[in-house]
Chains A and B, each alone.
Chain A
C-alpha cells in the first residue's frame, strides 16, 4: 500500500490544504483505479478515516483508490461567510487528483463519495451539486442541515452555524439537500445512486428519517436505506457502513 499526504494550493480557498491519498500496492501501468472520496465529520480532518477504520487494508485487498479531503469545520460546502469548501471538494480537488494521478479513473462511473455526520451531509451535498462527476454517494448519519434546529442564542455553536449557513430557513437555498435534489429532478439530469444509513441509537435519527422519507417519496432517485438498531453516532457504525457501502457499489 501507499499512503500519501498531499498538500495542494487551492484556488477556491486561496491557501494550501492537506489531503490523504491511499493507493494499493500492485498497480499496473495505465491501470485506472476506481476511487472513493471519504469525507470526515465535525472536528475531524483528512486523516480521520485512515486512523479509525481498516481502510488501508480494504484498499490493498480490493485495489481501489481512496481520497480523504479536509474541509476543516466547513461541512464541505461554500460557507455563507467564509471558505469555499464546496467548490474545493466538488470541483477543484477532483480535477487536481485526476490530472495528477495517472492511476486514478476520472470517469463518473468509477467515482463515489461517502462520509459521516457533517461529512454525511457534505457528501450528499457534493453529490447533488456535482451529479456529473460522481456515480454514487454513501451518506452515514447524515441529516439535512436545513432540518436541524437552530436557536440563535449567541452561543459558540450558533455563531458557527451562522458563519456556515446564515440565518433563516435553508430549505429553499443551496444548503438544503431537498432543494438540490428537487433541482436535479427538474433538470432531468443523471442522478447519483444514493445509499443512506443511520444507527438506531443515533441522537439525530429523526433527522435522518426526514431525509429518508424524502427520497423514498421521490422514485426519480435510486435510493437504499440501512439502519443498524444497536449502533449510534460512532466509529463502530461508520466502520461497518464503509464496508457495506463498498459492497453496495461492488468494490468489495
Chain B
C-alpha cells in the first residue's frame, strides 16, 4: 500500500489544500473511503492517531483524508463551501487522478465526532454518491452543540441558530423536511451506520438520530460498544469499517465484533 500526501489548488475553497491518501499498489479499480477527522484535527489525524494505515494494508480500498478546518464539512454560512469541496471537487479530482471505481456501491464516507456529522450530512444530501456512511461518536445534533459550544465558535459555520434550516445544517430538520416532501421520491438507498462508545457523554446524539432516521425509513444501524470519545474507540471503529468494506468478515477480538459481524452477513 502506498501513502500519498497531496497538495492542490481547490477551486471550491479558493485556496491550496492538503490531503492524505492511502492507496493499494495493485491494478486499480479500488473502493473509496472518504475519512473525515474531528474538530481540532486535520488531514493527518487518522494517520497519526489511529492504525488506519495498518488496517488498510492488503485491502482493495483507497482511504482519502481531507482537512475540515473546524468547518464541519458544510457550505458555511459565513465562509467557504466545504460541502461542495467534499462532495464534488474532491470526488472528481480523486477519480480523475487515481484508478478508482466510480460506482456508488464502491464509494463510502465516514468520520469521527465532527467528521461523523460531516459524513452523515454529506450522505443525506447526496444519496446518489455514497453507498454507506459511517459516524463514530458523531456530533450529530448541532443544535445541542450550538447551545454548548465548549470553546468552539460555530456561528461562522452555521450562522445564528434560527438560520440553521435555511441551509439544512440540522440533520433532524433535514430529515423532517424530506419526510414532508413526497416521501417516495426521497432516495433512501444509502446505508447509515451510527456507532458510539457507551462512555461518550454525547451518546444521546447518536441514539436520537438513529431513532429519527429509523422512523423516517432510512437504512440505518446503531452500534454501541465500550468506549469513550477518544482514539482507542475510533481506532476500533476504523478497523471494523475497513473489514466491513472489504467484506472479509475477519474475526476481531473486540466487544463490538459480534455486532459488526452481524452487519457483515
Q: A23-B97, A99-B28 known; A7 and B7 CB under 8 Å? A: no
Instruction: Let me know if B4 and A6 touch, CB within 8 A.
Output: yes
1/0 per residue, CB under 8 A from B, across A84-121: the answer is 00000000000010011111000000000000000000
Residue of A nearest to B62 (CB): A100
Instruction: Let me know if B97 and A27 touch, CB within 8 A.
Output: yes
Is A29 in contact with chain B by the CB < 8 A criterion?
A: yes
Q: A1-B8, A99-B25 known; A6 and B2 CB under 8 Å? A: yes
Q: CA separation between A2 and B100, bound complex, in Å?
A: 18
Chain A min CB distance to B29 (Å):
10
Residues on B with beta carbons closer than 8 Å to the beta carbon of A99: 25-28, 99
Q: CA separation between A29 and B95, bound complex, in Å?
A: 8
Is B1 in contact with chain A by the CB < 8 A criterion?
A: yes
Residues on B with beta carbons closer than 8 Å to the beta carbon of A6: 2-4
> Which one of A4, A23, A27, A28 has the highest number of Cβ atoms from chain B below 10 Å of its Cβ?
A4
Q: CA separation between A4 and B9, bound complex, in Å?
A: 12
Instruction: Let me know if B25 and A96 touch, CB within 8 A.
Output: yes
> Which one of A7, A28, A31, A99 has the highest number of Cβ atoms from chain B below 10 Å of its Cβ?
A99
Chain A min CB distance to B15 (Å):
14
Is A3 in contact with chain B by the CB < 8 A criterion?
A: yes
Is A8 in contact with chain B by the CB < 8 A criterion?
A: yes
Instruction: Let me know if B2 and A9 touch, CB within 8 A.
Output: yes
A-facing residues in B1-43 (Cβ within 8 Å): 1-9, 23, 25-28
Q: A99-B25, A102-B28 known; A7 and B96 CB under 8 Å? A: no
Q: CA separation between A23 and B2, bound complex, in Å?
A: 18
* Residue in A3, A25, A29, A103 whose CB lies within 8 Å of B7: A3
Chain A min CB distance to B57 (Å):
10
Is A236 in contact with chain B by the CB < 8 A criterion?
A: no
B-facing residues in A1-54 (Cβ within 8 Å): 1-9, 21, 23, 25, 27-29, 31
Residues on A with beta carbons closer than 8 Å to the beta carbon of B93: 2
Looking at chain A, what size class is its interface with the partner chain? 20 to 34
Residues on A with beta carbons closer than 8 Å to the beta carbon of B95: 29
Instruction: Let me know if A100 and B28 touch, CB within 8 A.
Output: yes
Residues on A with beta carbons closer than 8 Å to the beta carbon of B7: 2-4
Instruction: Let me know if A25 and B9 touch, CB within 8 A.
Output: yes
Is B98 in contact with chain A by the CB < 8 A criterion?
A: yes
Chain B min CB distance to A51 (Å):
14
Residue of A nearest to B93 (CB): A2
* Residue in A2, A7, A8, A96 whose CB lies within 8 Å of B8: A2
Instruction: Let me know if A8 and B25 touch, CB within 8 A.
Output: yes
Residue of A nearest to B28 (CB): A99
Residue of B nearest to A92 (CB): B25
Residue of A nearest to B26 (CB): A99
* Residue in B4, B5, B23, B96 whose CB lies within 8 Å of A29: B96
Residues on B with beta carbons closer than 8 Å to the beta carbon of A31: 96
Q: A7-B2, A7-B4 known; A2 and B26 CB under 8 Å? A: no
Instruction: Let me know if A103 and B9 touch, CB within 8 A.
Output: no
Instruction: Let me know if A102 and B26 touch, CB within 8 A.
Output: no
Residue of A nearest to B8 (CB): A2
Chain B min CB distance to A48 (Å):
18
Q: A27-B97, A29-B95, A102-B98 known; A5 and B28 CB under 8 Å? A: no
Instruction: Let me know if B9 and A100 touch, CB within 8 A.
Output: no
Q: CA separation between A27 and B89, bound complex, in Å?
A: 12
Instruction: Let me know if B4 and A102 touch, CB within 8 A.
Output: no
Chain A min CB distance to B212 (Å):
37
Instruction: Let me know if B25 and A102 touch, CB within 8 A.
Output: no
Residues on B with beta carbons closer than 8 Å to the beta carbon of A2: 6-9, 93, 97
Q: A100-B98, A102-B99 known; A4 and B6 CB under 8 Å? A: yes
Instruction: Let me know if A5 and B4 touch, CB within 8 A.
Output: yes
Residues on A with beta carbons closer than 8 Å to the beta carbon of B98: 100-102
Chain A min CB distance to B19 (Å):
10
Q: CA separation between A234 and B95, bound complex, in Å?
A: 39
1/0 per residue, CB under 8 A from A, across B122-157: the answer is 000000000000000000000000000000000000
Task: Give me 25 A-to-B residue pairs in the complex whose CB atoms sit less than 8 angstroms apart, sorted by A's number.
Answer: A2-B93, A3-B6, A4-B4, A4-B6, A5-B4, A6-B3, A7-B2, A7-B4, A9-B1, A9-B25, A27-B96, A27-B97, A28-B96, A29-B92, A29-B95, A29-B96, A31-B96, A96-B2, A96-B25, A99-B27, A99-B99, A102-B97, A102-B98, A102-B99, A102-B100
6 A-B pairs closest in CB distance: A2-B8, A8-B2, A7-B3, A102-B99, A5-B5, A4-B6
Sample of 6 more A-B contacts, CB < 8 Å, known A7-B2, A7-B5: A1-B8, A2-B7, A2-B93, A3-B6, A8-B2, A23-B97
Give B contacts to A, CB under 8 Å: 1-9, 23, 25-28, 92-93, 95-100
